[in-house]
């Protein structure tokens, strides 16, 4: 800066946003442990971190949804203990969530102005669509959009819809736009387009926080990367320093509290063998997978990598578009859930409340539902047989409930999950797939579920555990398969288990050693 | 019998007593037998509707189907001289096929039940009117059908239809509340996704529900045809699907599915018929019939809902109080 330049106003030197010692804890978990973060005007910051590193908590604090326990949030130099939603919007902080919040049936302009439409004709109070469109057109132009304000949103591609969200943010005079994994479901060309938009925002002095796991995007778009780990700032990298190895090294290093329990016997023969399976999510990417008797195979990967879709296909929920499945040496055509459950292939789905159990039915009714004929004679259910089975499951799995006639919806998450598991345990499983088995349940129940899974494996069941919780994947699995964009990107044996290896494979980077096969 | 059923029963008794006090004819054997006959006929297709509503679906084609099958039955027996058991079997068969078609369209081709059966409502009404060229289908004057007297007979003063309803109700009760299939019906209605994840063939369950509905409707159609002796296709059984839905809702069914009972839907049917009877016996203009019925259903559902949420609030308040007591 030369002497002739005007003295910088205090506004120019202070960053737009500054977090100091922001802390937020929940019973039993510290989500953010005293975080410091600065975002300058026009700065593009990459934010990375594993599940549970504190990203969502940070987003919620910035959005005014939750208040931190301690620390200050400074916007334009004005310190506050917490933001309200209104203050957050007023300060110009805008979000583009992974799940877009757009109305399919409305046009672009109506989506941008939803809830604050310009009106006309006084009492008639009609939406002034013309004025609305006139106001939105320049925003779209500024973002280089190749569509007009009167296009229905449902006809736009995902990237175009993201641009609509960004236009909406601009219409609120946003000064900081937070993009949550915006590129995770975008094809390459659309990603390019989005990165250009971020660049143009930067030129206008609008800051961006860009949450992503894709290195080259971070490298291209971000001025620096901030890595969160266990609710703390694990480190920051300037653009020139960014490499996968450095990022991953910063992300890992958490305390792993789950202690591995070795199987009672070495793993047995292959029970289920999937060859070149194609699912609806990634029809171009065939998947091979072998599940062994007595083994817990962890299936790791980022959200959207095709793990749940693979599970749903093997369970007959979604159609399989190619390849073959062999169960116990005999080919198996999985055409419906019946064809899977009839042969002892079971799935405990990730969305427990919507699909895992029937909240409005009793514990006993949930447990016997998949195999009700076994508790019936001549098509008539025998309540005594049903109750006996349920009582046994309740005792075996230690389901804590007033009785087996209790409504399942009234139980805690952990006990609901035990019910979801109990219905399959009552049916001689050969293969059990558990999708995020401990999501949203308390620590105590978590360890009980781990114990149950180990017990199942030791009883000769092939267990496939899909999990996004690194601690769980490493602490529970006997082997880990990692998926990346619909492919198995690597298979790790216990001696190769490390957060680093799993993450590297999950982001599709590959690890250069003989232990991993691609 | 649940508390809700008990409440409904008390309401029926109170209304009945009121009508009796104003007009003692209400309890005359003839009026009772007539009302019982109507309860039986309406009960048959209301139970049918119940099977569909329990899955979260709806069948709007019931009234039109009764007209179409009634026209066919009367025409076959009266004009074509088909022996009545054969005619009855044919009518039953057609009913079941139509129900199967509804089920396939809904479960396999994923068309909304409302749309499928609304089209059914229009098609069957139109078909029955077209079949007779809008004329009334009736039995030739002066002919008798000894075999058919069964349908309108009153052994011990009780209409045959009441016995049929009793048998159907008992079977339906066992199927819905005691059988494996009944459990599946409830599971599909409560949460189809979770039912599918439990290995239930939800599509087959839904198809079966619509088939059962149409089958029972076909039985009702034969009784209605014999009750009216002639079928004028433009007005026969008009709006009957709405009576069935109303009876089910009064009886505690949820239109979202997964809730309801056979006892409830029968009590709902009884209440509706007693109200109808009330309109007649109290000299209320019969043009107000629907208005009375609509008001009673609205008030009934409103009271039930408000009572439910009142109890829920009280339960939460009490739980909060106990929790505070423990904390103190």
Q: Is the pLDDT of residue B57 over 70?
A: yes
Nearest CA in chain B to A381: B179
Residue B265: burial class (beta carbons within 10 Å; 0-12, 13-18, 19+): buried
Closest partner residue to A360 (CB to CB) among B180, B190, B201 is B190
**φ, ψ at A74 (rounded to 5°):** -105, 125
| Residue B113 clears pLDDT 80, i.e. is over it | yes
Chain B residue numbers with beta carbons less than 8 Å from the beta carbon of A377 are none
The mean-pLDDT minimum among A27-36, A362-371, B189-198, B226-235 falls in: A27-36
Cα–Cα distance for residue pair A290/B114, rounded to 1 Å: 45
Q: How far apart are CA B259 and CA B190, in angstroms?
A: 8
What are residue A17's phi and psi, to 5 degrees? -135, 135
Q: How many CB atoms are closer than 10 A to CB A75?
A: 22
**DSSP assignment string, A1-67:** --TTSPPPPHHHHS-SEEEEEEEEEETTEEEEEEEEEEE-TT-EEEEE--TTSSHHHHHHHHTTSS-
Residue A380 has which token pair?
């008539």
Mean local confidence (pLDDT), B28-48: 92
From A367's Cα to the closest Cα of chain B, the distance in A is 9
Q: Which two tokens stand for residue A92?
A: 């110009």
* Closest partner CB to A355 (pick from B183, B197, B199): B197
Residues in A touching B193 (Cβ below 8 Å): 354-355
Q: How far apart, in whole angstroms, are the C-alpha atoms of residue B220 and residue B66?
A: 7
Query: In terms of Cα–Cα distance, which of B19, B62, B115, B6 is closest to B224?
Result: B62
Chain B residue with minimal CA distance to A360?
A: B190
Using a CB-CB cut-off of 8 Å, the residues of chain B touching A380 are: 174, 178-180
The DSSP bridge partners found for residue A465 are A298, A434
B272-289 core/surface letters (b: 16 or more CB in 10 A; e: else):
bbbbbbbbbbeeeeeeee
Across all residues in chain B, what is the average pLDDT? Answer: 89
pLDDT above 50 for B39: yes
Question: Å from A464 to nearest chain B CA?
Answer: 17
Give the residue from chain B lying closest to A358, CA to CA: B194
Nearest of A129, A213, A136 to residue A169 by alpha carbon: A136
The proportion of chain B whose per-residue pLDDT surpasses 70, expressed as a percent, equals 97
Burial (0-12, 13-18, 19+ Cβ within 10 Å), A99: exposed
Q: Which of B180, B190, B196 sits opposite A337 (nearest CB)?
A: B196
Q: How far is CA A507 from CA A48, A134, A301, in A?
A: 12, 42, 8
Q: Are A415 and A393 in contact (CB under 8 A)?
A: no
Helix B180-190 and helix B202-228, axial crossing angle in degrees, nearest 10: 110
CB contact under 8 A, A347 and B190: no
Alpha carbon of A310: minimum distance to chain B alpha carbons (Å):
15
- Residue A212, φ and ψ in degrees, nearest 5: -160, 160
Task: List alpha helices for chain B, DSSP H.
Answer: 3-22, 29-53, 62-78, 84-107, 113-131, 149-152, 160-178, 180-190, 192-197, 202-228, 240-250, 262-281, 289-327
Binary contact (A376, B179; C-beta < 8 A): yes
Token digits for A297?
């195979």
Residues of chain A with CATH 3.40.50.300: 13-251, 270-506
Query: What order of strands is seen across the sheet that includes strand A296-301?
Result: A345-348, A431-435, A462-466, A296-301, A479-484, A487-493
Q: Which residue of A has its CA nearest to B196?
A: A337
| CA within 13 Å, CB half, B24 | 0
Residues of A with CB below 8 A from B197's CB?
A: 315, 317, 337, 347, 349, 355-356
B180 and A381 within 8 Å at the Cβ level: the answer is: yes
Contacts of A360 in chain B (CB under 8 A): 190-191, 258
Question: How far apart, in Å, are the Cα atoms of B135 and each of A375, B74, B228?
Answer: 54, 13, 15
Q: What distance in Å separates the CA atoms of residue A244 and residue A505, rounded to the nearest whole number? A: 11
By C-alpha distance, the chain B residue nearest A362 is B187
Decide if B191 and A341 are in contact by the 8 Å CB cutoff: no
Q: Which fold has domain A270-506?
A: Rossmann fold (3.40.50)
To the question of pTM greater than 0.95 for the whole model, the response is: no
Q: Which residues pair with A298 in a beta bridge?
A: A465, A480
For residue A135, CA distances in Å to A90, A129, A130, A150, A171 come to 19, 10, 9, 12, 9
Chain B nearest C-alpha distance from A281 (Å) = 19
Q: What is the CA radius of gyration of chain B?
A: 21
CA distance B300 to chain A (A): 24
Whether chain B has a CB inside 8 Å of the CB on A341: the answer is yes
Q: What string of H, E and C letters represents the secondary structure of A461-480? A: CEEEEECCCHHHHHHHCCEE
Alpha carbon of residue A304 to chain centroid: 8
Classify B313 as helix, strand or coil: helix
- A317, A359, A381 member nearest B197 (Cβ): A317
Which candidate from B183, B193, B196 shows the least CB-CB separation from A381? Answer: B183
Domain borders along chain B are 3-284
A–B interface: beta-carbon pairs under 8 A: 70
* A227 Cβ contact partners less than 8 Å away, ≥ 6 residues apart: A48, A49, A233, A234, A235, A236, A237, A247, A250, A251
The two tokens of residue A63 are 């959005």
Radius of gyration over every alpha carbon of chain A, rounded to an integer in angstroms = 26
> Looking at the complex, does the CB of residue A374 fall below 8 Å from at least one CB of chain B?
no
User: Nearest by CB to B179, which of A354, A379, A423?
Assistant: A379
At residue A234, the pLDDT reads 85
pLDDT digits (tens, 9 = 90+) for B163-172: 999 999 999 9
How far apart, in Å, do the first and last CA atoms of chain B sit? 41
Q: How many CA atoms lie within 13 A of B287 on its CB side?
A: 0
Token output for A443: 């620590």
Q: Which of A358, A361, A373 sits opposite B180 (nearest CB)?
A: A373
- The whole-angstrom distance between A347's CA and the closest CA on chain B is 8
Shortest Cα distance from A369 to chain B (angstroms)? 7
DSSP string, B76-131: HHHTS---HHHHHHHHHHHHHHHHHHHHHHHHTS---HHHHHHHHHHHHHHHHHHH
Please state whether B110 falls in left (phi above 0), alpha (psi between -120 and 50) or beta: left
Task: Report how far residue A465's alpha carbon sits from residue A442's, in angstroms, rounded to the nearest whole number.
Answer: 18
The structure tokens 């029968």 sit at: B266
Given an 8 Å threshold on Cβ–Cβ distance, is B191 in contact with A338?
no
Decide if A337 and B187 are in contact by the 8 Å CB cutoff.
no
Please tell me the distance from the alpha carbon of residue B189 to that of residue B203, in angstroms, as a whole number.
12
Record the tokens describing residue A286, joined without a space: 């065939």
Is B198 close to A347, i.e. CB distance below 8 A? no
Q: How does residue B28 score in pLDDT terms, banded at 50, 70 and 90?
A: confident
Residues of B in contact with A376 (CB under 8 A): 179-180
| Nearest CA distance, B177 vs chain A (angstrom) | 9
**C-beta atoms of A355 and B179 within 8 A:** no
Which CATH number applies to A13-251: 2.40.40.20, 3.40.50.410, 3.40.50.1860, 3.40.50.300? 3.40.50.300
| Closest to B48 in 3D by CA, of B87, B85, B98, B82 | B98
Distance from CA of A420 to the nearest CA of B (A): 9
Q: What is the pLDDT of residue A435?
A: 93
| Res A254: pLDDT | 61
Cα–Cα dist B245/B255, whole Å:
9
Residues A372, B183: C-beta atoms closer than 8 Å: yes
Indicate yes or no: CB of A358 within 8 angstroms of CB of B196.
Answer: no
Q: B187: which chain A residues are within 8 Å (Cβ-Cβ)?
A: 358, 361, 365, 369
Confidence of residue B280 (pLDDT cuts 50, 70, 90): confident
Give a three-class secondary structure readout of A61-83: HHCCCCCCCEEEEEECCEEECCC
Kindly list the averaged pLDDT for each block of 10 residues, start to end, along chain A of length 518: 44 76 81 88 87 81 88 88 87 84 88 83 79 88 86 86 88 88 71 84 89 78 87 85 79 69 84 90 89 94 85 91 89 90 92 90 94 91 93 91 90 89 91 90 83 92 91 91 90 88 83 46
Query: Contacts of residue A372 in chain B, CB cutoff 8 Å?
Result: 180, 183-184
For A357, other C-beta atoms within 10 Å of its C-beta total 31
Which of A341, A347, A354 is closest, CB to CB, to B194? A354
Partner residue opposite A380 with nearest CB, options B178, B187, B199: B178
- Yes or no, beta carbons of A361 and B190 under 8 Å apart: yes
A56 touches chain B (CB under 8 A): no
Kindly report the nearest CA distance between residue B256 and chain A, in angstroms: 13
Asked if A341 lies within 8 A of B199 by C-beta distance, the reply is yes
CATH of B3-284, one of 1.10.1060, 1.10.3470, 1.25.10, 1.10.10: 1.10.3470
- Distance between A57 CA and the closest CA of chain B, angstroms: 29
What whole-number distance in Å separates Cα of residue B67 and Cα of residue B282? 30
């Amino acid at each position: 800066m030369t002497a002739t330049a005007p003295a910088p106003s205090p506004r120019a030197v202070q960053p737009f946003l500054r977090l100091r010692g922001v802390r937020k804890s929940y019973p039993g978990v510290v989500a953010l442990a005293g975080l410091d973060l600065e975002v300058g005007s026009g700065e593009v910051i990459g934010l990375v971190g594993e599940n549970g590193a504190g990203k969502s908590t940070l987003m919620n604090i910035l959005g005014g949804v939750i208040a931190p326990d301690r620390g200050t949030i400074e916007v334009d130099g004005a310190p506050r203990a917490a933001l309200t939603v209104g203050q957050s919007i007023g300060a110009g902080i805008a979000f583009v969530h992974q799940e877009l919040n757009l109305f399919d049936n409305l046009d672009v302009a109506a989506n941008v102005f939803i809830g604050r439409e310009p009106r006309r004709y006084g009492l008639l109070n009609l939406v002034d669509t013309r004025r609305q469109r006139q106001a939105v057109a320049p925003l779209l132009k500024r973002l280089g959009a190749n569509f007009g304000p009167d296009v229905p949103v449902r006809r736009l591609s995902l990237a175009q819809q993201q641009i609509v969200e960004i236009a909406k943010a601009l219409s609120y005079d946003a000064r900081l736009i937070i993009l949550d994994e915006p590129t995770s479901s975008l094809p390459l060309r659309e990603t390019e387009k989005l990165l250009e938009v971020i660049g143009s925002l930067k030129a206008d002095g609008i800051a961006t926080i860009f949450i992503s796991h894709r290195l080259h995007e971070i490298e291209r778009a971000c001025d620096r990367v901030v890595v969160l780990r266990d609710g703390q700032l694990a480190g920051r990298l300037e653009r020139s320093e960014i490499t996968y190895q450095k990022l991953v090294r910063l992300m890992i290093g958490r305390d792993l509290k789950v202690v591995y329990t070795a199987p009672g016997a070495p793993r047995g023969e292959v029970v289920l063998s999937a060859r070149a399976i194609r699912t609806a999510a990634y029809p171009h990417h065939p998947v091979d997978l072998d599940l062994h008797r007595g083994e817990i195979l962890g299936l790791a990967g980022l959200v959207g990598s095709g793990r749940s879709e693979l599970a749903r296909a093997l369970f007959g929920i979604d159609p399989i578009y190619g390849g073959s499945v062999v169960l116990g040496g005999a080919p198996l055509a999985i055409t419906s859930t019946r064809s899977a459950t009839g042969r002892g292939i079971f799935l405990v789905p990730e969305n427990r409340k919507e699909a895992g159990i029937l909240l409005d039915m009793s514990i006993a009714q949930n447990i016997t539902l998949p195999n009700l004929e076994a508790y019936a004679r001549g098509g008539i259910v025998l309540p005594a047989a049903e109750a006996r089975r349920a009582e046994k499951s309740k005792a075996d799995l230690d389901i804590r409930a007033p009785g087996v006639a209790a409504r399942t919806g009234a139980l805690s998450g952990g006990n609901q999950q035990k019910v979801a598991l109990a219905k399959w345990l009552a049916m001689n499983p050969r293969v059990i797939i558990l999708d995020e088995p401990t999501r949203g349940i308390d620590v105590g129940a978590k360890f009980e579920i781990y114990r149950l899974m180990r017990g199942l494996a030791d009883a000769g069941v092939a267990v496939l555990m899909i999990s996004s919780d690194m601690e769980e994947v490493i602490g529970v699995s006997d082997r880990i398969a990692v998926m990346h964009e619909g492919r198995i990107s690597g298979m790790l044996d216990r001696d190769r288990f490390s957060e680093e290896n799993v993450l590297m494979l999950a982001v599709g980077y590959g690890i250069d050693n003989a232990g991993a096969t691609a | 019998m649940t508390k809700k059923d008990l409440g409904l029963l008390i309401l029926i008794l109170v209304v009945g007593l009121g009508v009796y006090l104003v007009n003692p004819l209400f309890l005359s054997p003839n009026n009772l037998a007539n009302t019982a006959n109507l309860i039986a006929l309406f009960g048959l297709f209301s139970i049918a509707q119940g099977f569909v509503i329990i899955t979260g679906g709806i069948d709007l084609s019931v009234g039109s189907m009764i007209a179409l099958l009634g026209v066919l039955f009367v025409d076959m027996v009266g004009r074509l001289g088909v022996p009545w058991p054969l005619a009855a079997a044919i009518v039953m068969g057609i009913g079941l096929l139509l129900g199967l078609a509804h089920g396939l369209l809904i479960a396999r081709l994923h068309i909304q039940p409302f749309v499928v059966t609304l089209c059914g409502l229009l098609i069957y009404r139109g078909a029955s009117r077209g079949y007779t060229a809008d004329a009334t289908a009736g039995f030739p004057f002066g002919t008798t059908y000894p075999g058919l007297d069964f349908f309108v007979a009153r052994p011990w003063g009780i209409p045959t239809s009441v016995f049929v309803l009793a048998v159907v109700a008992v079977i339906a009760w066992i199927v819905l509340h005691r059988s494996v299939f009944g459990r599946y019906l409830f599971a599909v209605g409560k949460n189809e996704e979770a039912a599918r994840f439990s290995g239930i063939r939800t599509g087959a369950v839904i198809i079966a529900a619509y088939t059962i509905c149409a089958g029972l409707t076909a039985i009702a159609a034969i009784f209605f045809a014999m009750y009216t002796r002639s079928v004028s296709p433009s007005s026969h059984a008009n709006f009957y699907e709405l009576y069935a839905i109303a009876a089910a809702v009064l009886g505690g069914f949820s239109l979202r599915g997964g809730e309801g009972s056979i006892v409830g839907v029968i009590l709902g049917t009884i209440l509706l018929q007693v109200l109808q009877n009330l309109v007649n016996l109290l000299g209320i203009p019969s043009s107000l019939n629907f208005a009375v019925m609509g008001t009673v259903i609205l008030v009934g559902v409103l009271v039930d809902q408000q009572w439910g949420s009142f109890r829920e609030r009280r339960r939460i308040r009490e739980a909060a109080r106990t929790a505070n007591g423990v904390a103190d």
